Amino acid sequence: MQSNDLKAGILRMEGTNNEEEAFLSLKRSGFSSEYIHVSEIGQKKLEDYDLLFIPGGFSAGDYVRAGAIFASRLTPHIKSLNKFVDSGKLLIGVCNGFQVLSELGMLPDLDRKKDRTMVLAVNTSNKFECRYTYVKYISKNIIFKKYFSGKIFQVPVAHMEGKVLFDSEKTLGNVMENDQILFQYTDQKGNKASYPWNPNGSVMDIAALSNRDGNVIGLMPHPERVYYNFQMMDDGKEYENGTGKIFFDALYEYTKKLTA
């Protein structure tokens, strides 16, 4: 465990249900974790945090669309969020958090105007998908490159609306050109994924994306649920550490360098 000298804020509202796993994972990797209910923003200033994390769950019961109401609750604070991101700090959204970032237009944010150019649609199977799968790192983004390059990693997924779709082939092309695809789903051997390894039918087997600057990150898998190797399944238990520890250690080390 690190020295807990960096402050992570976990945004939550009614219906989020992975905030405790996120809280503990961030704390175990060195952050001083703190919950921020959306109603507390303003009283708690976002700029006082070194990292912000939007956890998974079913915020507002996923009414309208998954993440839509959470995003609308954050919209009055969009200037503060944009200022936070423009400072270079990390904004992470997992599962429902990824959906929130999509709804806000913060991913993929090709033109830095927060235009909506992607959606996390209903899974191709038309059902809730909950299982372990595998991902590989395909980016040059320095946050994770040292930790994830050259291997495949087991991760759990649990979502109904996780299918990454863009508004055009041009948008997808720009996302690829900008190196914004961080992780892709694979099978157990690291090969191209088909169902069920790609649980939702995402284009290009996308499991995680960043914005153009690489510091807003959305992913559908749940690394916070597998911080330790004993939380993983079958061959995952052969890893020295859980995928979550690797993921959150990477966030801590990058954030520490930012504040040095």
Active-site amino acid positions: 95, 222, 224
CA 65 – CA 161 distance, rounded (Å)? 9
Number of CB atoms found within 10 A of residue 121's CB: 16
CA 193-196-200 angle, 5° bins: 85
SS3 per-residue string spanning the chain: CCCCCEEEEEEECCCECCHHHHHHHHHHCCEEEEEEEHHHECCECHHHCCEEEECCECHHHHCCCCCHHHHHHHHHHHHHHHHHHHCCCEEEEECHHHHHHHHCCCCCCCCCCCCCCEEEEECCCCCCEEEEEEEEECCCCCCCHHHHCCCEEEEEEEECEEEEEECCHHHHHHHHHCCCEEEEEECCCCCECCCCCCCCCCHHHEEEEECCCCCEEEECCCHHHCCCHHHCCHHHHHCCCCHHHHHHHHHHHHHHHHHC
